[in-house]
Amino acid sequence: MVVATVVFTLIYGAYCSYLLSVYLVRRGKMRGICSTRIPNHFGAATGLGIIFLAWSGLSLLWTPAPASAVAYYLSYIVQILISYMLCKLYPIRDVFRNVFKGTAYAAAISTLLAIVLTGYSGGRLGQELAVFSAIATSACLGILAVLYLRLIRDIRKSIALLFVLSMLLALYLTFGKTEIIALAVAGVVYVLYSSGSWRRRSILISRMLLGMALALIVLFPKIAEYQSGGGGAAPETLTGRTVLWALTYKQIASGPFIRGFGLLAFRLIGPSPFPGIDRVEQAHNEFLQVWFNFGLVGVVLVFGSYFALAYASVRALKQRGGIAGIIALCAVVWCLVKGITEGIPAFCILPIPWLLLFDCLVSTERAGEGKDFARTGFSAGAP
């Protein structure tokens, strides 16, 4: 794992070095041969995210997994630098167009490959390799990206429909309950905050209700099997999550709950209520996961950055009614809902590189750089 992280860090570092060299050229005497950089802006969410990054770096001093933690941390820093350099080099709207286009295509291809190549056991795609949650997450992110590309008219309707159908099939086969619910809640937020007449909103609400009804019909056999405890599931404890939460809170309360145990600490010293499993990767709750690893300080910084981004998104929607605010708000809502029963071993569900990009998109929109964003789309020149 450490070797793989180091390799990816070197790859990220090479790309970051390329971006830095382009940036230095643009600022130097040769800037005349390059297009003029459109200024981007950052908000409070970015500041809180950077402070959290510094705090997580400080936790390397007391983490029980220093080697793996340092490798993860260095890789994460390089990813953040790449996001920052993209914001310094190009108009953020161009960056998002290309980033989301890559996300949509990657999600469509990866979900199809998962359906073809990943084993189907225990009633779930990817159950044998324990990658069903990753497949479901990839599908949800792909759907969000396709929605964004359709809003800016940068993807054909037929291609978008094909992508969404493949990702919905992956969600059905993986039966990612948390991801499906989070996607539905994000869809409700999109409908509530979408621009247009009440007639258009009524049509969207009708389509959403029809889609939810069809989803319940299709998922009913899997839901019934889950409620009956099929496949070893224990619905009364959310497949063991409530027991894990209780044990995690008990360990937090008896430990350094202000500063936490350190980056990647949970997967090494965290509790495990599952028979035959010595440890689990994460606490299956982002609040407890962040609290365990980074203490109350980390909780304040992580969720403070989430709500700062949500607040800025709502303000951007009220001020200009563009799509930047709504797409960022849907992403935050999806992460918050997913965080109720899921988490990741390191850092937070909404990665700081993505937090920085979303915050830059919303803050730039509010600053007036994108006042014609919803009508005119994007300019050329992104990487």
Task: Give residue-wise pLDDT tens across range 323-343.
Answer: 888 889 999 999 999 999 888
| pTM for the predicted model, two decimal places | 0.84
Q: Is residue 13 part of a domain?
A: no
Which pLDDT score is estimated for 179? 87
User: What is the Cα–Cα distance from 258 to 292, expressed in whole angstroms?
Assistant: 9
170, 111 Cβ separation under 8 angstroms: yes
pLDDT single digits (tens) 132-166: 788 888 888 888 888 888 888 888 888 888 888 88
Q: Is residue 125 part of a domain?
A: yes
pLDDT single digits (tens) 22-63: 777 776 654 444 444 557 889 999 999 999 999 999 999 999
Distance spanning both ends of the chain, measured CA to CA: 30
Joined tokens for residue 182? 């989070």
Q: Is residue 379 part of a domain?
A: no
Q: Is residue 181 part of a domain?
A: yes
Lowest-pLDDT choice from 198-202, 286-290, 308-312, 377-381: 377-381
Amino acid at the residue 6: V
Which pLDDT score is estimated for 66? 85
Number of domains in the chain: 1
Which pLDDT score is estimated for 377? 39
More confident residue, 369 or 304: 304
Q: What is the mean pLDDT of the chain?
A: 80
Q: Which residues contact 364 (CB under 8 A, 6 or more apart)?
A: 40, 41, 92, 93, 324, 370
Which pLDDT score is estimated for 127? 67
Q: Is residue 227 part of a domain?
A: yes
Indicate the pairing of strand 124-125 with strand 120-121.
antiparallel
Percent of the chain with pLDDT over 70: 77
More confident residue, 356 or 132: 356
Percent of the chain with pLDDT over 90: 27
Distances (CA, A) of 187 to 207, 231, 285, 350: 11, 30, 22, 18
User: What is the Cα–Cα distance from 137 to 140, expressed in whole angstroms?
Assistant: 5
Say yes or no to pLDDT of 270 above 60. Answer: yes
One-character DSSP codes across 202-223:
HHHHHHHHHHHHHHHHHHHHHH
- pLDDT confidence tier of residue 378, bands split at 50, 70 and 90: very low
Q: Is residue 5 part of a domain?
A: no
- pLDDT confidence tier of residue 16, bands split at 50, 70 and 90: confident
By three-state DSSP, how is residue 347 classified? Answer: coil
Q: Is residue 25 part of a domain?
A: no
User: What is the Cα–Cα distance from 182 to 310, expressed in whole angstroms?
Assistant: 16
Q: Is residue 121 part of a domain?
A: yes
Q: Residue 46 belongs to what domain range?
A: 42-62+87-370
